[in-house]
Amino acid sequence: MALGPEQIGAVPRPLPIFLEGRALVLAPPVAQELGLRAGQVIELVSALVDGRARLLYGDRALQVSGQAPFPPGDRRSFRLRSTPQGLALDPVSAPSRGAPGPAPSAIPGAPGAPLFSGLFRQLAAPSLTLAQQAQRMDGLFALSEKGPPEAQLALPRPSLRDLDGSVLRASLLQSGLFLEAQLAARRPVSPMDLKRALLRVGQLAPANSDLARVTGEVLSGLERAQAEGVVATQRQDVNLAWVLTLRDGPAVALELQREQAERRGAAPLWVVHAATTLDSLGPLWMRTRFSLDGKVGFTLWAPKPGTAELARGEEAGLQGELAALQLRLESFAVHAHPRQDRP
């Protein structure tokens, strides 16, 4: 539930990684934005994005100075180490040239090399930010409602008043992320499945229309989220991204992630990223980090003038609401600028 942010109408700030000829080093502001700490082990994917070398941390593209440190498509693990210049990324285990490991197809349950190659191509492609994903989904519904009846999405959208855990669960199950898995298991696919609806609309929408174009763009983004979910599953991790659409409010883009705990044997941490744009409050990005022992960390980015100040006055109310659920607000931060850890 990477990693953010979304800047609307602003030039994205680069996230530099300095090579220094030895270990990669993350500048302190970048590490802080990403929530990284010394001792953590993270995985990076090397990719060429628009002809430029990038290291991908989830869907966060970290700019590399010079050549990519390993071939595009490769995934490597690094342990973070504190240095005066920032967090150094030390390779956990470099591949051995003399004794190569088994091919992906020889690993039980792992997809073969061609499949991984296709997945990494999708992961290396430029992706929409969370806020853009939400706006595009709202645009798709608006175009669909103006199109011919047979090409309308015709999917139910809950009201803001209806939001609860069961509604969020239903939105995830109907998000289209699991269409192929349901088909492979010979399970009937719900008519409310988003990917099923997108495929139908894409076939029925007038050729070269805005509806056909936006439907294809949303479908491409959904398939990217599916690819990221498959790769995360191979790492025995979780990364699920979808958009919750509402009939009486703007759509909300959501991403659910599972973080490994810093201490060996401790329970994993869960992180939910969310982004939306409200007429009264402007663009909003949220990151909620919680553990199974009831500790919650909340961060909000609210760049519209006055919104951050308004949000800071709600800390006590949020603390009380969480306490009623037997949860403890461990940290609360509000930033009066766009979230910048996801270019």
Percent of the chain at pLDDT above 70? 74
**Side chain identity, residue 88:** A
pLDDT at 59 over 60: no
pLDDT at 296 over 60: yes
pLDDT at 318 over 50: yes
**pLDDT per residue over 85-95, tens digit each?**
788 888 876 44
- State residue 29's pLDDT score: 79
- State residue 95's pLDDT score: 43
- State residue 72's pLDDT score: 62
Q: What own/partner pairs with CB < 8 Å and gap ≥ 24 does 123-126 have?
A: 123/45, 123/47, 123/56, 123/59, 123/224, 123/227, 123/228, 123/231, 124/45, 124/47, 124/48, 124/49, 124/54, 124/56, 124/72, 124/73, 125/49, 125/224, 126/49, 126/50
Q: What does the CA dihedral 298, 299, 304, 306 come to, rounded to 10 degrees?
A: 60
- State residue 68's pLDDT score: 60
Side-chain half-sphere CA neighbours of 169 within 13 A: 3
- State residue 107's pLDDT score: 33
- State residue 163's pLDDT score: 85
- State residue 236's pLDDT score: 75
Percent of the chain at pLDDT above 90? 34
Mean pLDDT of 60-88: 72
- State residue 194's pLDDT score: 94
Mean pLDDT of 12-24: 50
Mean pLDDT of 34-39: 78
Q: How far apart are CA 222 and CA 213, in angstroms?
A: 14
Mean pLDDT of 276-284: 92
**pLDDT per residue over 214-262, tens digit each?**
999 899 889 889 988 888 887 778 889 999 999 899 999 999 998 776 6
Mean pLDDT of 119-144: 79
**DSSP per position, 287-309:** EEEEETTSEEEEEEE--STTHHH
Closest CA to 284 of 298, 270, 294: 298
> How many residues are there in the chain?
343
Report in angstroms the alpha-carbon separations of 13 from 30, 51, 175.
10, 18, 31
Q: How confident is the model at residue 300 (pLDDT cuts 50, 70, 90)?
A: very high
pTM of the shown model: 0.64
The residue behind tokens 């490597």 is 76
Is 17 in contact with 62 (CB distance < 8 Å)? yes
Report in angstroms the alpha-carbon separations of 69 from 45, 64, 310.
10, 9, 44
Q: How confident is the model at residue 67 (pLDDT cuts 50, 70, 90)?
A: low
Q: How far apart are CA 183 and CA 179, in angstroms?
A: 6
pLDDT at 8 over 50: no
Q: Who's near 45: CB < 8 A, 6+ residues apart?
A: 55, 56, 73, 74, 75, 120, 123, 124
Domain residue spans of the chain: 16-112, 130-278
Report in angstroms the alpha-carbon separations of 254 from 89, 123, 242, 287.
29, 18, 5, 10
Q: How confident is the model at residue 321 (pLDDT cuts 50, 70, 90)?
A: very high
**Side chain identity, residue 47:** A
Is 256 in contact with 263 (CB distance < 8 Å)? no
pLDDT at 185 over 80: yes
- State residue 132's pLDDT score: 87
pLDDT at 106 over 70: no
pLDDT at 264 over 80: no
Across the chain, what does the average pLDDT equal?
78
- Identify the three-state secondary structure at position 24: strand
- The dihedrals phi and psi of 238, each to the nearest 5 degrees, come to -135, 130
pLDDT at 97 over 50: no
Closest CA to 174 of 155, 154, 202, 160: 155
Strands 282-291 and 269-278: antiparallel
Q: Where are the alpha helices (DSSP H) in 147-276?
A: 165-173, 179-184, 194-204, 210-234
- The dihedrals phi and psi of 225, each to the nearest 5 degrees, come to -60, -35
Q: How far apart are CA 128 and CA 342, in angstroms?
A: 10
- State residue 117's pLDDT score: 53
Give the count of beta carbons closer than 10 Å to the beta carbon of residue 194: 23
